[in-house]
Amino acid sequence: MNEKTRLILALQQINNITSLLQDNKYKNFLYSNLITIEVELQRQLTNLTYHERKRLQGRDQESLNVATKQ
């Protein structure tokens, strides 16, 4: 399992926990702690996706350069 998949699954678990706690009388306290984790996971996923796109764009540019030289 790759890092992107793990991050997505972790975000899904946060959503599942949030749903399970809807009727909990301490949900505001629990949500306030979960949001920190959710934001960090989202940040990591965004960074990972950004770097994947940059790498793919670099490969596309290299392929274009090779094709142009031929």
pLDDT tens track for 34-69: 999 999 999 999 999 999 888 888 776 766 666 666
How many independent structural domains does the chain possess?
A: 1
Q: What is the pLDDT at residue 59?
A: 72
pLDDT in tens, 7-43: 999 999 999 999 999 999 999 999 999 999 999 999 9
Nearest to 30, CA basis, from 8, 14, 10: 14
Q: What is the pLDDT of residue 3?
A: 96
Element containing residue 36 per DSSP (H, E): helix 27-69
Q: Tell me which residue range forms the domain holding 64.
A: 3-69
